[in-house]
C-alpha cells in the first residue's frame, strides 16, 4: 500500500498537519526503500527514527487535546499507546530475527494502514472538536 496524502485528511491545525504529512512521507519512503532492497540494518535504523518521530508527534497531539479539555483524550491516548506497543513488538521481532510474517507486509498492515485509519478517523474527530474550541475562544474574546 502506498500512503498518499490527501488534503481531506487535514485537521487545520498546522503543526499536527505538517507532522501527519511527514509521517505519511516517511512511511512511503520506507516502503519504497524496502521494495528496492535496503539492508536489514538500514531498515531497522529507519524504523527507529520513525518510532521516535511518531512518539514525539503523539505527545504534541495529546498536548493540544489536554489544553482544549478534549473529552476523548483518554481513548485517543490509548490508541497511540497501542500503536507504540505494536511498533515496539515489531522492532523486537525484527532484532530477534523473528520474521514469521515478512517485515514489509507487517509494516504495511500494522503501521501504514493503522496510520491512515487513525488520521482519517480518531484524529478527524479531534480536529472537529478543536475547531469548535478555537471558535469558542474567539467568540469569548469578542464578547468581552
Ligand atoms: Fe492521533
30-63: per-residue pLDDT in tens?
999 999 999 888 999 999 999 999 999 999 999 9
pLDDT interval class at 99 (50, 70, 90):
confident
The whole-number pLDDT of residue 100 equals: 75
Q: Ligand 1 center to residue 88 CA distance, Å?
A: 17
Is the pLDDT score of 119 beyond 90?
Answer: yes
Q: Ligand 1 center to residue 28 CA distance, Å?
A: 19
pLDDT interval class at 144 (50, 70, 90):
low
Measured at the alpha carbon of residue 93, what is the angle toward residues 89 and 99, in degrees to the nearest 5?
130
The whole-number pLDDT of residue 81 equals: 98
Q: What is the mean pLDDT of residues 84-113?
A: 90
54-97: per-residue pLDDT in tens?
999 999 999 999 999 999 999 999 999 999 999 999 999 988 88
Separation of alpha carbons 3 and 101, rounded Å: 21
Query: Could you tell me if 127 and 13 are in contact, meaning their C-beta atoms sit under 8 angstroms apart?
Result: yes
Separation of alpha carbons 49 and 103, rounded Å: 16
CA distances from 115 to 12, 86, 96, 126, 143 (A): 18, 12, 25, 15, 40
Q: Ligand 1 center to residue 118 CA distance, Å?
A: 6
The whole-number pLDDT of residue 84 equals: 98
Q: Ligand 1 center to residue 143 CA distance, Å?
A: 33
Q: Ligand 1 center to residue 144 CA distance, Å?
A: 33
The whole-number pLDDT of residue 97 equals: 83
Q: Ligand 1 center to residue 55 CA distance, Å?
A: 10
Which grid coordinates are listed for 77? 491516548
CATH 1.20.120.50 fits 12-143, yes or no: yes
Grid look-up 494502514 returns 113
Q: Ligand 1 center to residue 49 CA distance, Å?
A: 18
Please state the domain extents for the chain. Answer: 12-143
Amino acid at each position: 500500500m502506498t500512503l498518499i496524502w490527501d488534503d481531506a485528511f487535514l485537521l487545520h491545525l498546522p503543526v499536527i498537519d505538517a507532522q501527519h504529512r511527514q509521517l505519511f512521507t516517511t512511511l512511503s519512503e520506507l516502503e519504497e526503500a524496502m521494495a528496492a532492497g535496503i539492508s536489514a540494518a538500514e531498515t531497522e535504523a529507519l524504523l527507529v527514527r520513525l518510532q521516535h518521530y511518531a512518539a514525539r508527534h503523539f505527545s504534541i497531539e495529546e498536548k493540544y487535546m489536554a489544553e482544549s479539555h478534549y473529552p476523548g483524550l483518554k481513548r485517543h491516548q490509548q490508541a497511540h499507546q497501542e500503536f507504540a506497543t505494536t511498533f515496539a513488538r515489531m522492532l523486537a521481532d525484527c532484532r530477534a530475527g523473528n520474521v514469521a510474517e515478512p517485515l514489509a507486509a507487517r509494516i504495511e498492515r500494522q503501521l501504514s494502514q493503522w496510520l491512515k485509519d487513525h488520521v482519517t478517523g480518531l484524529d478527524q474527530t479531534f480536529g472537529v472538536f478543536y475547531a469548535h474550541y478555537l471558535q469558542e475562544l474567539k467568540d469569548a474574546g469578542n464578547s468581552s
